Chain A
Amino acid sequence: EADIYQTPRYLVIGTGKKITLECSQTMGHDKMYWYQQDPGMELHLIHYSYGVNSTEKGDLSSESTVSRIRTEHFPLTLESARPSHTSQYLCASSAGQSNEKLFFGSGTQLSVL
């Protein structure tokens, strides 16, 4: 069982609201990631972090932002949610010099009405 937690599990929200998806891990991993996944589709990397105060954009352009003030915490924020942001958001972490094993949270299913 991976020690990486995402909250909330489900979120239904109206257009224009600001939201923050939480992700925390207790494994002391330096690297953390956010992936976006539509039902039955591939995962797209939208943000990643090498460690504290490090954040990078992934391969898929996203209007979301992230922060990494503490090793264990990697929240994702949408300033103004839109229906196009409806998707599943998966947080992951890994240790070591290269990505040999990612640990995933259970995901947040976001629906923007």
Chain B
Amino acid sequence: SQQGEEDPQALSIQEGENATMNCSYKTSINNLQWYRQNSGRGLVHLILIRSNEREKHSGRLRVTLDTSKKSSSLLITASRAADTASYFCATARGGGFKTIFGAGTRLFVKA
């Protein structure tokens, strides 16, 4: 992968459970972002964490960043069937004009 690894590749949970997705990257970054993609559609920006931040919250989303391990995690709490989608991490580097995406995690939330 041009970006690194995301795991798991797919995750199936029951409604109400928490979902955790992990992302690793290869180079130094300015920021790390998480996006959501519904099947066959474009991506929607969820949350951004800067390289000098360790944790960030937005509603039911919690993102952590560990620059020493070059990894990030996205936690979705109290999942809903409508959360079913693919989730991608993305990093912006250097001059910031290139945003590079990982392979994504497919999340299935069963009602």
Contacts and interface: CB of A to CB of B under 8 A. Distances in A.
Contacts, number: 76
Nearest to A10: B40
B68 interface: no
A107 B103 contact: no
Query: For A35, A102, A109, which residue has the most chain B Cβ atoms within 10 angstroms?
Result: A102
Contacts of B104: 40-42
Interface stretch (B53-61, B69-77, B93-101): B93-101
A88 B86 CA distance: 15
Given A42-B3, A102-B45, A103-B45, A97 B103 contact: no
A94 to B, nearest CB: 8
A10 to B, nearest CB: 10
B96 A97 contact: yes
Interface in B29-57: 30-31, 33, 35, 40-45, 48
Nearest to B2: A59
A90 B98 contact: no
Interface string A45-78: 1001010000000110000000000000000000
B88 A50 contact: no
Nearest to A9: B40
A76 to B, nearest CB: 15
Contacts of B92: 98-100
Contact of B40 (A2, A98, A102, A109): A109
Instruction: Identify the 9 closest CB pairs spanning chains A and B, nearest first.
Output: A98-B96, A104-B42, A99-B92, A42-B103, A43-B101, A99-B99, A104-B43, A101-B45, A106-B42
20 contacts: A33-B99, A40-B86, A41-B104, A42-B2, A42-B88, A42-B102, A42-B103, A43-B43, A43-B88, A58-B98, A59-B2, A59-B100, A97-B96, A98-B30, A98-B31, A99-B97, A99-B98, A101-B33, A102-B33, A104-B44
Interface of A: 2, 6, 31, 33, 35, 40-45, 48, 50, 58-59, 88, 90, 92, 94, 97-107, 109
